Amino acid sequence: MRPTDGSQTGGNQFQRRGLDDLQLGHLRHFANLSRQLPNQWELMKGKGYGQEDFGGYRFQLAYMSYALALTHRHRLPAAPGVFKPIFERLIAKMLLPEVWMYWRDVSRGGSIFNAHLSSGYSEQWDPVARDNIMYSAYLQSMTLLYHYLFDDARYAEPGALTLQFWSYFWGGEQKRFSYDEKSLNENLYWQMVESGYLGVACEPNCTFQICNQPAIFGFRLHDLVYGGSIAADVVSGYEQAWKEFGRLGDNGHYNIMLSQDTRQVRPNLGKSPWVDAWCGTLMNMWNRDFVHAHYADQAKDFLRAGPDGALSVIAGERPLVMGQTIVSDSCDFGWMAAWASEMGDQTTLGGLLKHADMYMSPCWRDGGLYYPRNDVATDAEGNASMIEPMSGNVLLGYARLNVPDGLWAFYNDPWSSDRFDEPALITVSDDLDVSRAWFDASANRLEFSLSGTDATAEGLVVLGNLRSRGSWSLWLDGAEISSGRADVPASQDNEVVRRVADGLVLRHAGVRRGDYVLTFTE
């Protein structure tokens, strides 16, 4: 029996709509970057020195992971095999010394916000033991996100998150710091408690509102995996602690940071789009009404209208500090796009993406889409052209792949654990793109769409969790191509499928685009 159109029988609009070519291009680019050899960071190096700034590798790796999670949760829920291996490679890169070694220098103090305290700081190698929430919270949330999404506890094993470094130029013993997702989460929680819930510092004496949001996300994920209410405890204390200082400055923009010793707040004077955009994007997950209430008035201060509805961002000025102009990646444009996507502001998001496509030189490489680094502020006609690797590799893709209130839904609408028993694409070879994948429980059918990226594609997909579902039929573009029973081994494999213990291996040779439906009859 030919399957009927399932568009009205389940799934949300984003699952039914699937991914377009641009969204697939961003996913492919994330996968390409994740496959680079250890310590190969091609296309990822920004203007700043030593991984100290907001375009650092840790931020690119983390927000690629967040974008993957949002895409899996909201758009391709029945395709864990697409996302899981990319996640594993990104987490492995997160543990590389080049990502976290900046802490050896940053932890000593010496900035304008902690130079007066630097005599009390000693060299710290362990990047998660104290402060440094701008690294530790991302490692925490990435690993707990992996556990939550894929029901895989590999990072809960003792020592699963081990950071190590040794150089024969320096001599001495190897630096080795062993954690797992649970011990790291506990460490961050107690640092939060010890701060009086004001938050953990990014560097000594400097507590940023933004950088504590990923830790809250991680606490929520810990609750979802292990039970408990750590996130609610932290949010309650955090809200109470910040009442003294206020989330916003007198101008309505988010305060940037708090100096722990003087308890003095550094405001955003309205010249740094990244502050409001980054903070608003993340805080929306647990403080949605507040964030939405202030979004429009904040965002209008940073947007410049262009032709045909295009929008650019009025980039923040590079500050002069101690006689030097700061050279760093602020990622204003990318964060504004990410913020608009979380707010569901399709007009602003569309305008920003239109500008990027017109003036920021989108590139396709090995099937992946990105916007290459450009340090020039404007082109000859005055159009904003500067873009950093964090924006061009990650944030514009994040914005295209996200859905309105995407993080909010992740935080507040737990994904049913029943999904682990539902038919899904549990393995997808690297040479295939999946533009649609969702299981309609009411109709008892799995729908997915595939396309190849190479004429010599291996093209292998494993459809799992099929046991005890009775008879099945596999359809491609409306024509039945194979059938059988889930609980009875096939008598003969063919060029289309091969039976395995709990599913089917689908061989998808060459470049073949197609819409597949796997139906079941009890």
Q: Write a three-state SS string for 423-465.
A: CEEEEECCCEEEEEEEEECCCCEEEEEEEECCCCCCCEEEEEC
What average pLDDT score do residues 446-450 get? 95
The amino acid at residue 52 is E
- Does a structural domain hold residue 114? no
Burial annotation 323-359 (CB, 10 A radius, 16+ → b, else e): eeeeebbbbbbbbbbbbbbbbebeebbebbbbbbebb
- Does a structural domain hold residue 427? yes
Predicted local confidence at residue 122, as pLDDT? 64
Task: Say which residue the tokens 């965002």 belong to.
Answer: 299
Query: 382 and 496 share a domain?
Result: no
* H helix intervals, 344-395: 346-359, 389
Query: 253 and 393 share a domain?
Result: yes
- Does a structural domain hold residue 113? no
Asked if the model's pLDDT at residue 53 lies above 80, the reply is: yes
**CA Rg value for the chain:** 24
Predicted local confidence at residue 240, as pLDDT? 95
Other beta carbons within 10 angstroms of residue 478's beta carbon come to 10
Burial group, residue 16, by CB count within 10 angstroms (0-12, 13-18, 19+): middle
For residue 482, which of 443, 451, 508, 454 has the smallest C-alpha distance? 508
Task: Say which residue the tokens 């568009």 belong to.
Answer: 7
* H helix intervals, 323-374: 332-343, 346-359
Asked if the model's pLDDT at residue 325 lies above 50, the reply is: yes
- The rounded distance, in Å, linking the Cα atoms of 148 and 414 is 10
Other beta carbons within 10 angstroms of residue 78's beta carbon come to 27
Quickly state the pLDDT bin for 508 (edges 50, 70, 90).
Answer: low
Query: 364 and 457 share a domain?
Result: no
Cβ contact 465:426 at 8 Å: yes
Boundary of a domain, candidates 364, 385, 413 = 413
pLDDT tens string 337-362: 999 999 999 999 999 999 999 999 99
Cβ contact 510:458 at 8 Å: no
- For residue 75, the domain's CATH number is 1.50.10
- The rounded distance, in Å, linking the Cα atoms of 372 and 376 is 12
- The rounded distance, in Å, linking the Cα atoms of 82 and 401 is 15
Higher-confidence position of 282 and 122? 282
pLDDT tens string 377-388: 999 999 999 999
Cβ contact 102:447 at 8 Å: no
Query: 299 and 446 share a domain?
Result: no
What average pLDDT score do residues 471-495 get? 75
User: Is the four-CA dihedral 93, 97, 102, 104 of positive or negative sign?
Assistant: positive
Predicted local confidence at residue 6, as pLDDT? 42
Residue range of the domain that includes 303: 17-105+120-156+173-413
Query: 380 and 428 share a domain?
Result: no
Query: 438 and 468 share a domain?
Result: yes
- Does a structural domain hold residue 62? yes
Boundary of a domain, candidates 357, 382, 413 = 413
* Structure tokens that stand for 75 in this block: 């758009």
pLDDT tens string 19-44: 999 999 999 999 999 999 999 999 99
pLDDT tens string 152-174: 999 999 999 999 999 888 778 88
For residue 461, which of 488, 496, 492, 487 has the smallest C-alpha distance? 496
Predicted local confidence at residue 3, as pLDDT? 59
* Structure tokens that stand for 322 in this block: 């101690």
Higher-confidence position of 284 and 329? 284
Quickly state the pLDDT bin for 492 (edges 50, 70, 90).
Answer: very low
Predicted local confidence at residue 59, as pLDDT? 98
Return the SS3 of 193.
helix
Cβ contact 423:463 at 8 Å: yes
What average pLDDT score do residues 248-258 get? 93
Backbone φ, ψ for residue 450 (5° rounding): -125, 150
Query: 126 and 38 share a domain?
Result: yes
- Does a structural domain hold residue 3? no
Q: Range with the lowest mean pLDDT among 11-25, 212-226, 236-250?
A: 11-25
Quickly state the pLDDT bin for 9 (edges 50, 70, 90).
Answer: very low
- For residue 442, the domain's CATH number is 2.60.120
Higher-confidence position of 301 and 469? 301
Q: If you write DSSP's letter for every residue of 265-320 in order, what string do you get?
A: EE---S--HHHHHHHHHHHTTT-HHHHHHHHHHHHTTTEEE-GGG-EEE-PPPPPE
* Structure tokens that stand for 172 in this block: 């001495």
- Does a structural domain hold residue 10? no
- Does a structural domain hold residue 8? no
Query: 402 and 432 share a domain?
Result: no
- The rounded distance, in Å, linking the Cα atoms of 309 and 358 is 12
Query: 395 and 466 share a domain?
Result: no
Predicted local confidence at residue 117, as pLDDT? 63
Query: 426 and 387 share a domain?
Result: no
* Structure tokens that stand for 247 in this block: 């989330």
- The rounded distance, in Å, linking the Cα atoms of 232 and 64 is 26
Query: 331 and 472 share a domain?
Result: no
For residue 415, which of 150, 202, 125 has the smallest C-alpha distance? 150
Binning the chain into helix, strand and coil, the percentages to the nearest 5 are 40, 20, 40
Predicted local confidence at residue 511, as pLDDT? 36
Q: How many domains does the chain have?
A: 2
For residue 485, which of 499, 472, 503 has the smallest C-alpha distance? 472
- Does a structural domain hold residue 167? no
Boundary of a domain, candidates 373, 391, 413 = 413
Query: 261 and 132 share a domain?
Result: yes
Cβ contact 140:188 at 8 Å: yes
